[in-house]
Amino acid sequence: MSETLRDETLRLVALGGTSLLATPDDYAFDCAAHIGSQLFNVPLCVLMLAGVEQDWTKSRVALETRETSTIDVLCDEIVHTAEPIIIEDALTHSRIVRGECASHPSRIRFFAGYPIRAATGKVLGALCLVNFEPMQFPPAQLWLFRELAFLTELSLFARRIGTAQKALVAKLDCARRESLVDPLLRIWNRGGITTILEQLHKDSIKKAVPFSILMIDIDRFKRINDRQGHIAGDTVLKAVTRVLQASMRPDDEVGRYGGEEFIAVLPNTDAANAIALAHRVNKAVAELRIETTAGLVACTVSIGVAEWVPRRLESVQALVHRADVAMLSAKQCGRDRVLVSQTGALRGAASKID
């Protein structure tokens, strides 16, 4: 095996070891991207993993295909050289004007990319800044960018994923895992979070430890869509998702269970601790003022809490049903509140309430 091929193999092994491929976005990387966007006054900051069209971004401008193609090419260059790239005006950069990017015309005028390394030193990808106007990037800015990239690497080293997600990552290939991620919100979809929940259920039976789930529904979401439009509705969904991600602990998982309905899976958590977390989520969402194309939007959530206890060996389906009934009962009691389902209680059916 040639030295180059060996190095690339080791790099891909290190990349696979992060368990980042075709899994939901990570809030720590979202934070780094948001800070990068604000700190350097650019519309887009994105973490790109080499060889994977996957980004973690908090920005005001979405990536289009032609932008992704350009960033992929530049990211590959960073991986191969292990050096940062600064392009203050893409119209004067030969590789973009006449090279590999020429077949994918892009709006990108400014680009800065800094290598992101694994603990082994292998370059996994790059943290990238993008602007659609040319801009200067003096040495002091490059130093700040280096420090942000370093903090992103620390987040990568410290990152933990739950036992259930580890099992899912090990069992499924990238294509299958990607099909379990919601394309709009970049969290687990219903199939993904159900798979996580079933795995946790099996683990909890073996270990005889409790766990809890939260069923979370945005109140009067249909009214938001009807009055402000579906684009505003999508913005609200993304904002609530960020609150959920920020509220979860390292081992917790969150997924989109329905249109405006979410499930949070809380390993090794009893009802009392689940209720405390649910109240934090409820308060954080109520404090949101979400900027949309239709103006500022406020919203609340109703949350049902259900605890699984080893002595009952309750099925996943029964647990989800209890949490769902508790959530619907919270809506019936006035919305914007948390209601816990005691084991054996709240088993009646309830109709859907917006």
Question: C-alpha 98: how far from its chain's center?
Answer: 36
Starting at the edge strand found earlier in the chain, the sheet holding 211-218 runs 253-256, 261-266, 211-218, 301-308, 338-341
CA–CA separation, 283 and 121 (whole Å): 42
Alpha carbon distances (Å) from 158 to 29, 70, 118, 148: 12, 30, 11, 15
Residues 6+ apart with CB under 8 A from 255: 182, 187, 188, 189, 190, 192, 193, 194, 196, 262, 263, 265
| Single-letter residue type at 67 | E
User: What is the rounded (10 degree) CA torsion for 172, 175, 178, 179?
Assistant: -90
DSSP state of 188: B
CA–CA separation, 75 and 59 (whole Å): 19
Does the active-site annotation cover 64?
A: no
Residue 99, exposed/middle/buried by CB under 10 A (0-12, 13-18, 19+)? exposed
Token duo for residue 223: 């009214």
Alpha carbon distances (Å) from 298 to 31, 139, 301, 333: 22, 42, 11, 20
Catalytic residue, from 67, 153, 253, 260: name it: 260
DSSP state of 311: T
Residues 6+ apart with CB under 8 A from 145: 36, 40, 84, 112, 114, 127, 129
Residue 305 · residue 274 · CB < 8 Å: yes
DSSP state of 352: -
Instruction: Enumerate the active-site residues.
Output: 260
